[in-house]
Structure 1
Amino acid sequence: MRNRDRVMLGGASVLVIALGAVLLWPARKAPGASGSDTPQEAPAPVTAAPVSPERAVTVRTPDSAPPHATVVPSAPGDVPPEPEVANAPPQQNDPIPEELPQTARWKLEKTEHIATLLGRDVSRLEGERQEARARGDKTRGDQVDALLQRHRLRLEELREEARTLAEAARNEPPEP
């Protein structure tokens, strides 16, 4: 089977499973539609004490809440959010700190770090190539050889760039 066929088959099976789960999910009973004939008591409305004498706190009661909402009564220290004002000036954001200069030392450090990571990849790929050859997997061995060639070429480019940056970093004035 090709990958495209597998993806299509997997997607179709996920869709069928989801549809089956929705159809078999237990239905919610409408409020007041319990199986018994006895009437149920309505929950008591939630009230809150005013936070300050000049401003009262309005709390939604369970009667006015949608049936799926969870109503949490406010605690004694809670402060409701201020209402938005239509013509209020926009809130000021924190200032963005200036970007640090990308000096030759900075670039050298980053280049050496990338070269270190690429060197680890080369070592890992060499081990993977030996494993592929030991298994007799010629196609994987060829793939890893191609990757190794690319990685080694890029590693040499990075090392040459690091040499150039090291020279530039020596001629750079010290950081304040």
Structure 2
Amino acid sequence: MMRNRERVMLGGVGVLVAALVAVLLLWPAREEHSPSAAPAAREAGPVTAAQVAPKRAVPVRTPEPAPRPATVVPPAPGDVPPEPEVANAPPQANDPIVEEQPQTARWKLEKTEHIATLLGRDVSRLEGERQEAKARGDQVRVGQVDALLQRHRVRLGELREEARTLAEAARNEPPEP
């Protein structure tokens, strides 16, 4: 009974022999039908090593990129250049972090109205784009724009409803200090 290792070795030898036989059988056929082989070269006789050796490739040197000058931006009024760091000096103090403003109903209402305004502009632009596509007869683009318009209108309705509830909540909020 053969062990697994012997089976694998025997299989590997079989694959190697099959590949070698295939190469030997196909080699003359490739040489005869090769368009690059000139008829005179086949009839010339023995081939020398110089004829068979590949030509050496000459390395192509690419020019190194020239160093580009740094972009210099003139300082604006009020700009303060950073102080140079000094060895063994204590680190510079960072600016204090501004505390986050409370997200009140007024703040949310303002942001929601702004988003609704931008989305309304987008709906107007898409309606014009739909008319242009319809005039060109581009039904694929008309379908795409219709889908976008439908989504935008649904979202715009949601934003307007949210703005109404936020406006009511903003009226009931105490005034900001």
TM-score, normalising length from structure 2? 0.52
Q: Deviation string for 1:103-158 (max 9, x for gaps)?
A: 11011011001101100110110111111111100000000000001100110110
* Equivalence for 1:104: 105
Q: 1:119 to 1:82 in 2, by over 3 A?
A: closer
Greater relative contact order: 1 or 2 (C-alpha under 8 angstroms, separation 6 or more)?
2
1:83: Cα distance to partner?
6.4
> Which of 74, 86, 90 pairs up with 1:84?
86
* Equivalence for 2:151: 150
What RMSD over aligned residues (CA atoms) do the two structures have, in Å?
2.6
Query: Partner of 1:110: helix, strand, or coil?
Result: helix
* Equivalence for 1:139: 140
* Equivalence for 1:17: none
State the distance in 1 between where 2:97 and 2:64 align: 53
Residue identity opposite 1:84 in structure 2: V
Q: How many residues align?
A: 102
* Equivalence for 2:131: 130
1:85: Cα distance to partner?
2.6
State the distance in 2 between where 1:139 and 1:111 align: 33
Alignment of 1:43-54 (within 5 A): none
Q: 1:89 to 1:144 in 2, by over 3 A?
A: same
Gaps of 5+ in 1: 1-19, 29-80
Q: Which has the larger radius of gyration?
A: 2
Residue identity opposite 2:86 in structure 1: E
1:99: Cα distance to partner?
1.6
Normalized per residue, the structure richer in helix is 2
State the distance in 2 between where 1:106 and 1:95 align: 23
Gaps of 5+ in 2: 1-59, 67-82
State the distance in 2 between where 1:89 and 1:124 align: 56
Residue identity opposite 1:132 in structure 2: A
After the TM superposition, which segments of 4 or more aligned residues of structure 1 sit over 6 Å from their partners? none
TM-score, normalising length from structure 1? 0.52
State the distance in 2 between where 1:24 and 1:169 align: 63
* Equivalence for 1:165: 166
State the distance in 2 between where 1:135 and 1:116 align: 29
Q: Deviation string for 1:21-44 (max 9, x for gaps)?
A: 94498xx9xxxxxxxxxxxxxxxx
Q: 1:144 to 1:21 in 2, by over 3 A?
A: farther
Q: 1:137 to 1:93 in 2, by over 3 A?
A: same
State the distance in 2 between where 1:168 and 1:83 align: 51
